[in-house]
Structure 1
Amino acid sequence: MRKKQPAQPTVPDVVRGIDYWKTVPATVDGVLGGFGTGTLPRVDALGSRSFLLSVLPRLSAVPPVTDDPVEWQKRKMEQRGGKGKTVTRALDCGAGVGRVTETVLLRVVDEVHVTEPVEHFLAEAARLSSSWQSLTLPPSKQPFHARKAAHFHLSTLQALDPARPWSSADGGIYRPPIAPNPLQYDVVWCQWMLQHLSDPDLLAFFARAKASLVPEDGVIVVKENVCPEMEDGSERVWWDEEDKSITRSTQAYERVFREAGLTTIRAETQMGFPQELYAVKMWALR
């Protein structure tokens, strides 16, 4: 997340990157590189929820000011098929200890599939989930009386099939007892993870992710640091020796999006982050 100087190589080293993260404490502060105890997590979560709801307003549990709240909720529940239905779903890619799942995705969808390649991060996310407010509230207290759920899968994005995340899990407690049918998502959320994928791996992952979206209006959200372009305006990639990742410029990401056949629905810059960090861009794609 911090600004680095350009160096070679410019292709992520997945194995050495995972080895680095295995040495990092399984805490929000650890996965955020020391920025987890300040205002960054809250600012990040607020920016993410606002961006997501601007793209998919149907996920909002807050009625428009022009509608009667009781009648609005009644209509919404009828549209969802009644009480207790699991209707909306998200995939959290490279979820760390589940911060985005807890503070963003479970606030707006019924079910989240949490994927993470570093086992002690995933184990901590699974442990913490028992105290997440969205999961502790009974259905009667949920906006649409739906039962919220989170499922945990150990996998790199290179190996992950979003439609069948359980098939990529490395066994153990993370594999669901009964494999459900192939999944479709309203949201595939990718934050501070894609810097560990090469362009070919990213293109392959985007193809699988796009195929797993609900056909009407599902979106892939990318939220990543971006470095400045080259002086001549062309795209740039910077190498991070510490975690063996790369940081792409805006043009580098948007070229990959085009090559993957994705259309940008909305793009914004996250505001309110410390100046010593790279800028953070958000894209909604489908």
Structure 2
Amino acid sequence: MPPAVRVVHPTPDVARGVEYWEGVPATVDGVLGGYGNGTLPRIDALGSRAFLLRVLPSLSSTPPVAYNGSPDEWRSERIKERGGKGMCVIRALDCGAGVGRVTEHSLLPLVDEVHLVEPVAKFLDEAKRCSPAWAPLKSSVADSPFYARKGVHFHVSTLQDFDLTRPVDTLPPTWMADETPEPTSELPLVYDVVWCQWCLQHLSEADLKKFLRGAQAALRPAGPNYEGGVIVVKENICREQVDGSESSWYDDEDHSVTRSQRAFERIFAESGVSIVRSEVQNGFPDELFPVMMWALR
């Protein structure tokens, strides 16, 4: 039997991709290619939160059905595990964060602190400008299910150049108005969620593997009553080849590469990360590429 022939995929052009996005309006509709004013953002956020809660049920403020105590008792136990009231414990990284849509609607409702990394500075400027009005940041500690302090940090960088463990803020952080943040720890950062949505098509295979290995190393380890951090990849996928082998599609407009499911999953395997769960995002317009969600560790 002849050896399998590896498909040679095109490589994204990062510099031209960033140049393209710098010409796009810094709005939700702009970053979503004209789909920001319909139901897509709401469907996307609902699908993302549901997927994340299935992977990390400890993020839920509702006790599991097997718990024998009251909801208040369960919540008190969780607050104690987190170190008490007013703490900022659960951290996420929003990769290719754009104007902050995913942070606002998918991540901050479930986690305490989000680091947004985005190569287009004007997108992050807009996220910074709008962030004081984001509902999770407007809420007080007393309104949070776990009495958590919420915060966001902004980083202008490509994923290729981003240091996951020791990021440097290029825009000031935003915290809730009634809270004073604690001093930043000198220890390397760890993440409960590394969220990658509609951005990995701008990474070459080599850069994507390097990023996944770094993200895996930066995940918070599992512990009592905690499943361990996850990398979530939520990306468009194209069809496989007619013979079922992997494929890819180069976008001449933003100079990115859309990969097939087989191509992504080969890259995951070669990066040393394991698939914990995978689902298709339902409810998107038929004319768009399908969107796949993977949780990786």
Q: Same fold (TM over 0.5)?
A: yes
Letter paired with 1:192: W
Partner of 1:5: none
Q: Deviations over 1:96-125 (max 9, x none)?
A: 000000001101111000110000001101
Q: Which moved more, 1:203-212 or 1:248-257?
A: 203-212
Letter paired with 2:100: G
Aligned residue among 203, 215, 226 for 1:209 = 215
Please say if 1:192 is aligned against 2:198: yes
* Equivalent-residue separation in structure 2 for 1:43 and 1:134 (angstroms): 19
Aligned ranges for residues 136-285 of structure 1 at < 5 Å? 136-166=138-168, 171=170, 173=172, 180-216=186-222, 217-285=228-296
Q: What is the Cα deviation at residue 181 of structure 1?
A: 2.8
Contact 2:280 2:290 survives alignment (8 Å): yes
Contact 1:28 1:97 survives alignment (8 Å): yes
Counting matched residue pairs gives 276
* Equivalent-residue separation in structure 2 for 1:54 and 1:125 (angstroms): 28
Contact 1:266 1:284 survives alignment (8 Å): yes
Partner of 1:59: 59
* Equivalent-residue separation in structure 2 for 1:56 and 1:211 (angstroms): 18
* Equivalent-residue separation in structure 2 for 1:245 and 1:90 (angstroms): 25
Counterparts in 2 of 1:134 and 1:152: CA distance versus 1, 3 Å = same
Counterparts in 2 of 1:150 and 1:180: CA distance versus 1, 3 Å = farther
Contact 1:224 1:281 survives alignment (8 Å): yes
**SS of corresponding position for 2:49:** helix
* Equivalent-residue separation in structure 2 for 1:23 and 1:245 (angstroms): 16
Partner of 2:127: 125
Q: What is the Cα deviation at residue 179 of structure 1?
A: 7.3
Counterparts in 2 of 1:68 and 1:192: CA distance versus 1, 3 Å = same
**SS of corresponding position for 1:165:** coil
Letter paired with 1:59: L
Contact 1:266 1:285 survives alignment (8 Å): yes
Question: Normalising by structure 1, what TM-score?
Answer: 0.93
Please say if 1:113 is aligned against 2:122: no
Aligned ranges for residues 15-26 of structure 1 at < 5 Å? 15-26=15-26
Letter paired with 1:184: V
Counterparts in 2 of 1:45 and 1:253: CA distance versus 1, 3 Å = same
Question: Normalising by structure 2, what TM-score?
Answer: 0.89
Partner of 2:136: 134
Contact 2:152 2:173 survives alignment (8 Å): no
Q: What is the Cα deviation at residue 178 of structure 1?
A: 6.1
Structure 1 residues without counterparts, runs of 5 or longer:
1-7
Structure 2 residues without counterparts, runs of 5 or longer:
1-7, 175-180, 223-227
* Equivalent-residue separation in structure 1 for 2:9 and 2:172 (angstroms): 37
Counterparts in 2 of 1:262 and 1:9: CA distance versus 1, 3 Å = closer
Partner of 1:3: none
Partner of 1:102: 104
* Equivalent-residue separation in structure 2 for 1:121 and 1:136 (angstroms): 21
* Equivalent-residue separation in structure 2 for 1:185 and 1:9 (angstroms): 31
Q: What is the Cα deviation at residue 85 of structure 1?
A: 1.3
Q: Deviations over 1:58-101 (max 9, x none)?
A: 01112335652211211111121211111110000000000000
Contact 2:95 2:195 survives alignment (8 Å): yes
**SS of corresponding position for 2:11:** coil
Q: Deviations over 1:24-55 (max 9, x none)?
A: 00000000000000000000000000000000
* Equivalent-residue separation in structure 2 for 1:105 and 1:33 (angstroms): 22
- Percent of counterpart pairs with the same letter? 59
Contact 1:153 1:165 survives alignment (8 Å): yes
Structure with the greater relative contact order (CA < 8 A, sep ≥ 6): 1 or 2? 1
Partner of 2:73: 71
Letter paired with 1:232: D
Q: What is the Cα deviation at residue 135 of structure 1?
A: 0.5
Partner of 1:89: 91
